[in-house]
Structure 1
Amino acid sequence: MPEKPGTFQPLTNSQPTLADLLTIETSASIFYSYARELELSVRFNSDDMSTLLVPTNKAVMALARKPHQDPDPVEPKIEISEQESDQLSKRNVERWVSAHIIPKSPISFSSEAKAYETLLEGKSVTFKAMSDESGEPEWTQVDLEDGTRIIGMRKAKNGVMYIIDSTVKF
């Protein structure tokens, strides 16, 4: 049937993007609120395949220093302008979010420990097999560095999102 002029035809995809998944994943809303403020978040809608390691809100809230804060406290004697503070905060968030993105998908969780480079220069994440329970998905049987566990997985047309119970350390 021919389309009438002025009628709206929504774009539809058979599978959501990583951005779509992050939008509806309420347990990861803090990560996404940090990430979408950055230029690198365009990756979540692009055709570039990515693996996201997304910490739960609970994991982010448990951090002693939040992602926008410097890893090491700035000496109280040093005064910086509001603009410098904003730039520093944005840089800290970009480093933190980048450490949670592996610029390839899919990744393998083989029985041997395997490291994958993240978007944060010089930072890789190592996955180590914990057990081999047949019938269970591979991702449920690995530890991320420091005992971090993957507690959920969502597939997108441009990658995979793994929900983790802690944050990637860098």
Structure 2
Amino acid sequence: MKYSSVLSVLAAVSAVSALSFLERAQQPIMNQVPNLGPAIPPPSKDNPSQPPADSDTVILSDVLGRDRSINIFAGFTRDITSITQRLEDSTQNTTILAPINSAITALPRKPWEDPEDYDNLGNQAYEGEEGEERARRNMRRFVEAHVVPVSPWKEGDKVKTLAGAEIWWESKDKKKFIQPGNIEVSSVASQVYNGQVWILKGVRNYA
């Protein structure tokens, strides 16, 4: 082959290569890299190993109240928007300390009553709009005293409830006791995607 012919062939090959390069450059970037498999969703902020739940995942809001022994407390939680939103949020793990009905009905006063309110305001403490708002605040404090913003919750780990009190739990004779107060946990009603429901035989201090 003559030298001029070789140059013609090389020029043609170069032109084809250049065209191929330009065509590849114009393609979407995802078409130019190997298939790396499906993307993995980021982990939830409370549990790094746990991805966000899908629509079929059972969470605390789905199960709280199914146990009739704690349906009074379950009803209290539904009246507090911030608690309801937390239990419906699959990225916020929570341990619910739900007193049994008999423990709530045995209280010397209603959960929304505070002796200091009666001392300061008398028998009219919960009348009128201001009284109703005062009762709502007290009820929220009562519920928040039974909500621990972690799950799983390890024995001896001191954590603050949503009401701000520091608590922990200990095991004695194969039973769990919430401290301070030595309140026995009778059973774990539910263990779901974003937490657990622990059934208490007593009521925690409001603070």
Q: TM-score range by the shorter chain?
A: 0.7 to 0.9
Q: Report which of the two has the higher share of helix.
A: 2
Map 1:1-170 to 2 at 5 A. 13-14=56-57, 16-40=58-82, 41-47=84-90, 48-72=92-116, 74-75=118-119, 77=122, 79=124, 81-109=127-155, 113-121=156-164, 123-131=165-173, 140-145=174-179, 146-153=181-188, 154-169=190-205, 170=207
Superposition RMSD in Å = 2.1
* TM-score after normalising by structure 2: 0.65
Aligned identity (percent) is 24
Cα contact 2:149–2:161 (8 A) shared by 1: yes
**Structure 2 vs 1, CA of residues 37 and 141 (structure 1 numbering), >3 Å: closer, same or farther?**
same
In 2: Cα distance, 1:83 partner to 1:106 partner = 40
Deviation at 1:147, TM superposition (A): 2.3
Deviation at 1:114, TM superposition (A): 3.4
In 2: Cα distance, 1:56 partner to 1:79 partner = 30
User: Comparing both chains, which one has the higher relative contact order based on Cα–Cα distances under 8 Å and sequence gaps of 6 or more?
Assistant: 1
Instruction: Tell me the alpha carbon deviations over residues 109-132 of structure 1, each in whole angstroms, 9 at most, x when there is no partner.
Output: 2xxx432211112x122212324x
Cα contact 2:147–2:162 (8 A) shared by 1: yes
Cα contact 2:103–2:203 (8 A) shared by 1: yes
**Structure 2 vs 1, CA of residues 94 and 77 (structure 1 numbering), >3 Å: closer, same or farther?**
closer
Deviation at 1:143, TM superposition (A): 1.3
Cα contact 1:55–1:166 (8 A) shared by 2: yes
- Equivalent position amino acid for 2:106 in 1: A
Q: Could you list the runs of 5+ residues in structure 2 that have no partner in the other structure? A: 1-53
The residue aligned with 1:8 is none
* TM-score after normalising by structure 1: 0.77
In 2: Cα distance, 1:116 partner to 1:37 partner = 25
Question: When the two structures are aligned, how many residues end up with a matched partner?
Answer: 147
In 1: Cα distance, 2:142 partner to 2:158 partner = 18
